[in-house]
Amino acid sequence: MSYLKQGVLAAAMMLAATMTSPHQVHAEQCEQQSFEEAKYVICTLEAGKADLRLFWKGADGAPYRTFSSLADAVRAEGKTLVLAVNAGMYRGDFSPMGLYVENARELKPANTAKAESSAGQVPNFYKTPNGVFFLGETGAGILPTDEFLKRAPKVRFATQSGPMLVIAGKLNPIFIPGSTDRTRRSGVGVCGTGTVRLAVSEDGVNFHDFARLFRDNLKCPDALFLDGGNGVGLYSPAIGRNDRSWHGGYGPMLGVVE
Protein backbone atom coordinates (compact mmCIF):
# COMPACT_ATOMS: atom_id res chain seq x y z
CA MET A 1 0.00 0.00 0.00
CA SER A 2 1.37 3.45 -0.92
CA TYR A 3 2.11 6.07 1.72
CA LEU A 4 -0.67 8.21 0.19
CA LYS A 5 -3.24 5.44 0.58
CA GLN A 6 -2.02 4.72 4.11
CA GLY A 7 -2.44 8.40 4.98
CA VAL A 8 -5.95 8.53 3.55
CA LEU A 9 -6.91 5.36 5.46
CA ALA A 10 -5.51 6.71 8.73
CA ALA A 11 -7.38 10.00 8.27
CA ALA A 12 -10.61 8.13 7.58
CA MET A 13 -10.15 6.03 10.72
CA MET A 14 -9.51 9.12 12.82
CA LEU A 15 -12.63 10.78 11.40
CA ALA A 16 -14.72 7.69 12.15
CA ALA A 17 -13.45 7.61 15.73
CA THR A 18 -14.34 11.27 16.14
CA MET A 19 -17.83 10.69 14.79
CA THR A 20 -18.50 7.77 17.14
CA SER A 21 -17.89 9.36 20.51
CA PRO A 22 -19.82 7.72 23.40
CA HIS A 23 -22.43 10.48 23.49
CA GLN A 24 -23.10 10.19 19.77
CA VAL A 25 -23.30 6.42 19.93
CA HIS A 26 -25.95 6.77 22.62
CA ALA A 27 -27.71 9.81 21.17
CA GLU A 28 -30.59 7.68 19.95
CA GLN A 29 -30.88 5.58 23.10
CA CYS A 30 -33.12 8.17 24.75
CA GLU A 31 -35.97 9.80 22.92
CA GLN A 32 -39.09 11.75 23.75
CA GLN A 33 -42.36 9.93 23.27
CA SER A 34 -45.99 10.67 24.01
CA PHE A 35 -48.52 8.15 25.24
CA GLU A 36 -52.12 9.18 25.77
CA GLU A 37 -51.21 12.89 25.88
CA ALA A 38 -48.46 12.48 28.49
CA LYS A 39 -44.83 13.11 27.55
CA TYR A 40 -41.99 10.75 28.45
CA VAL A 41 -38.29 10.24 27.88
CA ILE A 42 -37.75 6.58 26.95
CA CYS A 43 -34.26 5.06 26.99
CA THR A 44 -33.71 1.66 25.37
CA LEU A 45 -30.76 -0.58 26.25
CA GLU A 46 -29.62 -4.02 25.27
CA ALA A 47 -28.50 -5.50 28.59
CA GLY A 48 -26.08 -7.90 26.88
CA LYS A 49 -24.37 -5.08 25.00
CA ALA A 50 -24.60 -2.00 27.24
CA ASP A 51 -22.34 -1.86 30.31
CA LEU A 52 -25.24 -1.38 32.72
CA ARG A 53 -24.35 -1.09 36.42
CA LEU A 54 -25.68 0.01 39.79
CA PHE A 55 -23.87 2.65 41.83
CA TRP A 56 -24.34 3.93 45.38
CA LYS A 57 -21.12 4.90 47.19
CA GLY A 58 -17.77 6.22 46.09
CA ALA A 59 -14.28 5.16 47.16
CA ASP A 60 -14.63 7.36 50.26
CA GLY A 61 -17.68 5.38 51.40
CA ALA A 62 -20.06 8.31 50.92
CA PRO A 63 -23.10 8.14 48.61
CA TYR A 64 -22.56 9.82 45.24
CA ARG A 65 -25.89 11.70 45.64
CA THR A 66 -25.58 13.55 42.29
CA PHE A 67 -25.15 12.36 38.74
CA SER A 68 -22.26 14.80 38.34
CA SER A 69 -20.36 13.18 41.23
CA LEU A 70 -20.92 9.76 39.72
CA ALA A 71 -19.81 10.98 36.29
CA ASP A 72 -16.61 12.40 37.83
CA ALA A 73 -15.86 9.08 39.56
CA VAL A 74 -16.40 7.12 36.35
CA ARG A 75 -14.23 9.59 34.43
CA ALA A 76 -11.42 9.12 36.97
CA GLU A 77 -11.39 5.44 35.95
CA GLY A 78 -10.91 6.41 32.31
CA LYS A 79 -14.53 5.75 31.32
CA THR A 80 -17.62 7.81 30.53
CA LEU A 81 -21.03 7.82 32.16
CA VAL A 82 -23.41 8.15 29.22
CA LEU A 83 -26.75 7.55 30.96
CA ALA A 84 -28.08 7.29 34.52
CA VAL A 85 -31.35 7.30 36.45
CA ASN A 86 -32.37 7.08 40.08
CA ALA A 87 -32.49 3.32 40.79
CA GLY A 88 -35.15 3.19 43.49
CA MET A 89 -36.37 4.74 46.70
CA TYR A 90 -33.92 5.54 49.48
CA ARG A 91 -33.77 6.66 53.09
CA GLY A 92 -32.74 10.02 54.52
CA ASP A 93 -29.10 8.92 54.58
CA PHE A 94 -29.37 8.00 50.86
CA SER A 95 -29.17 4.27 51.60
CA PRO A 96 -31.43 1.91 49.60
CA MET A 97 -34.83 1.10 51.10
CA GLY A 98 -34.43 -2.58 50.29
CA LEU A 99 -32.23 -5.16 48.61
CA TYR A 100 -29.14 -3.75 46.97
CA VAL A 101 -26.48 -5.87 45.26
CA GLU A 102 -23.42 -4.35 43.61
CA ASN A 103 -20.70 -6.36 41.87
CA ALA A 104 -22.23 -9.57 43.29
CA ARG A 105 -22.01 -8.25 46.88
CA GLU A 106 -25.20 -7.81 48.89
CA LEU A 107 -24.80 -4.43 50.56
CA LYS A 108 -28.41 -4.21 51.81
CA PRO A 109 -30.74 -7.15 52.52
CA ALA A 110 -34.22 -7.51 51.06
CA ASN A 111 -36.91 -5.53 52.87
CA THR A 112 -40.01 -7.70 53.41
CA ALA A 113 -41.60 -5.53 56.09
CA LYS A 114 -45.25 -4.50 55.82
CA ALA A 115 -45.74 -0.79 56.38
CA GLU A 116 -48.79 0.47 58.20
CA SER A 117 -50.77 3.04 56.26
CA SER A 118 -50.64 6.62 57.45
CA ALA A 119 -53.90 8.55 57.02
CA GLY A 120 -54.96 5.87 54.55
CA GLN A 121 -51.77 6.18 52.51
CA VAL A 122 -49.28 3.33 52.08
CA PRO A 123 -45.77 4.50 51.05
CA ASN A 124 -45.04 3.51 47.46
CA PHE A 125 -42.21 1.12 48.35
CA TYR A 126 -44.60 -0.96 50.47
CA LYS A 127 -47.46 -1.13 47.99
CA THR A 128 -47.87 -4.78 47.09
CA PRO A 129 -46.17 -6.39 45.51
CA ASN A 130 -42.88 -4.58 45.31
CA GLY A 131 -40.11 -6.09 43.24
CA VAL A 132 -36.48 -6.44 42.25
CA PHE A 133 -34.74 -5.38 39.05
CA PHE A 134 -31.60 -7.43 38.54
CA LEU A 135 -28.76 -8.17 36.15
CA GLY A 136 -27.56 -11.75 36.29
CA GLU A 137 -26.17 -14.67 34.34
CA THR A 138 -29.18 -14.77 32.04
CA GLY A 139 -29.38 -11.00 31.51
CA ALA A 140 -31.85 -8.50 32.95
CA GLY A 141 -34.98 -9.43 34.84
CA ILE A 142 -37.72 -8.15 37.12
CA LEU A 143 -39.53 -10.27 39.69
CA PRO A 144 -41.86 -9.60 42.62
CA THR A 145 -39.71 -9.63 45.76
CA ASP A 146 -41.18 -12.84 47.18
CA GLU A 147 -40.60 -14.65 43.89
CA PHE A 148 -37.05 -13.30 43.63
CA LEU A 149 -36.24 -14.57 47.11
CA LYS A 150 -37.68 -18.01 46.32
CA ARG A 151 -35.72 -18.38 43.10
CA ALA A 152 -32.55 -16.80 44.53
CA PRO A 153 -30.94 -16.20 41.13
CA LYS A 154 -27.24 -15.40 40.95
CA VAL A 155 -27.00 -11.69 40.25
CA ARG A 156 -24.28 -9.16 39.79
CA PHE A 157 -26.55 -6.17 40.40
CA ALA A 158 -29.98 -5.87 42.00
CA THR A 159 -32.18 -3.13 43.40
CA GLN A 160 -35.51 -3.46 45.22
CA SER A 161 -38.24 -0.89 44.69
CA GLY A 162 -41.98 -0.77 44.41
CA PRO A 163 -44.64 -1.21 43.53
CA MET A 164 -44.44 -3.61 40.59
CA LEU A 165 -46.11 -1.96 37.58
CA VAL A 166 -46.55 -4.95 35.27
CA ILE A 167 -46.32 -8.60 36.35
CA ALA A 168 -46.10 -11.29 33.65
CA GLY A 169 -48.04 -9.12 31.21
CA LYS A 170 -50.73 -8.01 33.67
CA LEU A 171 -51.14 -4.63 35.34
CA ASN A 172 -50.72 -4.57 39.10
CA PRO A 173 -54.36 -4.99 40.26
CA ILE A 174 -54.01 -2.38 43.01
CA PHE A 175 -53.93 0.45 40.44
CA ILE A 176 -57.07 2.54 39.95
CA PRO A 177 -58.02 3.72 36.43
CA GLY A 178 -58.52 7.48 36.41
CA SER A 179 -56.79 8.00 39.77
CA THR A 180 -56.11 11.65 40.60
CA ASP A 181 -52.77 10.70 42.19
CA ARG A 182 -50.71 12.19 39.40
CA THR A 183 -47.03 13.10 39.56
CA ARG A 184 -43.84 12.63 37.57
CA ARG A 185 -42.70 9.02 37.73
CA SER A 186 -39.79 6.84 36.66
CA GLY A 187 -39.62 3.10 36.08
CA VAL A 188 -37.80 0.24 34.40
CA GLY A 189 -39.15 -2.54 32.21
CA VAL A 190 -37.66 -5.71 30.76
CA CYS A 191 -39.11 -6.34 27.34
CA GLY A 192 -38.82 -8.80 24.46
CA THR A 193 -35.56 -10.71 24.52
CA GLY A 194 -34.15 -8.90 27.55
CA THR A 195 -34.23 -5.33 26.27
CA VAL A 196 -34.25 -2.85 29.16
CA ARG A 197 -36.41 0.24 28.85
CA LEU A 198 -36.21 3.17 31.25
CA ALA A 199 -39.09 5.65 31.31
CA VAL A 200 -39.20 9.08 32.94
CA SER A 201 -42.44 11.02 32.70
CA GLU A 202 -42.27 14.72 31.95
CA ASP A 203 -45.89 15.19 33.01
CA GLY A 204 -47.86 14.03 36.03
CA VAL A 205 -49.30 10.54 35.49
CA ASN A 206 -51.06 8.05 37.75
CA PHE A 207 -49.82 4.51 38.39
CA HIS A 208 -52.41 2.89 36.12
CA ASP A 209 -51.45 5.01 33.11
CA PHE A 210 -47.73 4.64 33.84
CA ALA A 211 -48.07 0.85 33.99
CA ARG A 212 -49.99 0.85 30.71
CA LEU A 213 -47.13 2.77 29.10
CA PHE A 214 -44.87 -0.20 29.79
CA ARG A 215 -47.34 -2.95 28.94
CA ASP A 216 -49.24 -1.47 25.99
CA ASN A 217 -46.80 0.96 24.42
CA LEU A 218 -43.33 -0.39 25.24
CA LYS A 219 -44.47 -4.05 25.22
CA CYS A 220 -42.76 -4.93 28.50
CA PRO A 221 -44.30 -7.93 30.29
CA ASP A 222 -42.53 -6.93 33.52
CA ALA A 223 -41.96 -3.43 34.85
CA LEU A 224 -41.03 -1.87 38.19
CA PHE A 225 -41.64 1.61 39.61
CA LEU A 226 -38.44 3.36 40.65
CA ASP A 227 -39.49 6.71 42.14
CA GLY A 228 -41.81 9.66 41.76
CA GLY A 229 -42.17 13.36 42.40
CA ASN A 230 -38.95 15.07 43.42
CA GLY A 231 -37.06 11.76 43.32
CA VAL A 232 -37.32 11.39 39.54
CA GLY A 233 -34.01 11.95 37.82
CA LEU A 234 -32.29 11.44 34.46
CA TYR A 235 -28.70 11.99 33.32
CA SER A 236 -28.07 11.99 29.58
CA PRO A 237 -25.54 14.48 28.15
CA ALA A 238 -26.68 13.43 24.67
CA ILE A 239 -30.05 15.12 25.26
CA GLY A 240 -28.79 17.78 27.67
CA ARG A 241 -30.14 16.28 30.92
CA ASN A 242 -28.46 16.33 34.33
CA ASP A 243 -31.33 16.41 36.83
CA ARG A 244 -30.92 17.18 40.52
CA SER A 245 -33.02 15.78 43.34
CA TRP A 246 -35.00 18.12 45.55
CA HIS A 247 -34.38 15.63 48.37
CA GLY A 248 -30.73 16.70 48.54
CA GLY A 249 -29.48 13.92 46.31
CA TYR A 250 -30.17 10.39 45.07
CA GLY A 251 -29.47 7.03 46.65
CA PRO A 252 -28.70 4.10 44.32
CA MET A 253 -28.30 4.94 40.64
CA LEU A 254 -28.53 2.82 37.51
CA GLY A 255 -25.98 3.87 34.92
CA VAL A 256 -24.48 2.97 31.55
CA VAL A 257 -20.69 3.21 31.28
CA GLU A 258 -18.43 3.27 28.24
Query: Per residue, what are the HEC states of the chain?
Result: CCHHHHHHHHHHHHHHHHHCCHHHHCCCCEEEEEECCEEEEEEEEECCCCEEEEECECCCCCECCCHHHHHHHHHHCCCCEEEEEECCCECCCCCECCCEEECCEEEECCCCCCCCCECCECCHHHCCCCEEEEEECCEEEEEEHHHHHHHCCCEEEEEEECCEEEECCEECCCCCCCCCCCECEEEEEEECCCEEEEEEECCCECHHHHHHHHHHHCCCCEEEEEEEHHHCCEEEHHHCEECCCCCCCCCCEEEEEC
Residue 99's φ and ψ, nearest 5 degrees, are: -55, 135
What are the residues whose beta carbons fall under 8 Å from the beta carbon of 212, sequence distance 6 or more? Answer: 35, 36, 171
Distance CA 64, CA 73 (A): 9
Average pLDDT over residues 207-227: 98
Task: Answer whether residue 53 shows pLDDT above 80.
Answer: yes
What is the structure's pLDDT at 5? 42
Q: Is the pLDDT of residue 185 over 60?
A: yes
Q: How confident is the model at residue 117 (pLDDT cuts 50, 70, 90)?
A: low
What pLDDT, on the 0 to 100 scale, is given for residue 100? 98
Q: How high is the mean pLDDT of the chain?
A: 89
Residue 20 is predicted with a pLDDT of: 37
pLDDT at 81 over 50: yes
What pLDDT score was predicted for residue 246?
85
**52-61, 99-108, 114-123: which has the minimum mean pLDDT?**
114-123
Does the pLDDT value for residue 7 go beyond 60? no
As a whole number of angstroms, the distance between CA 144 and CA 170 comes to: 13
Compute the average pLDDT of residues 130-145. 95
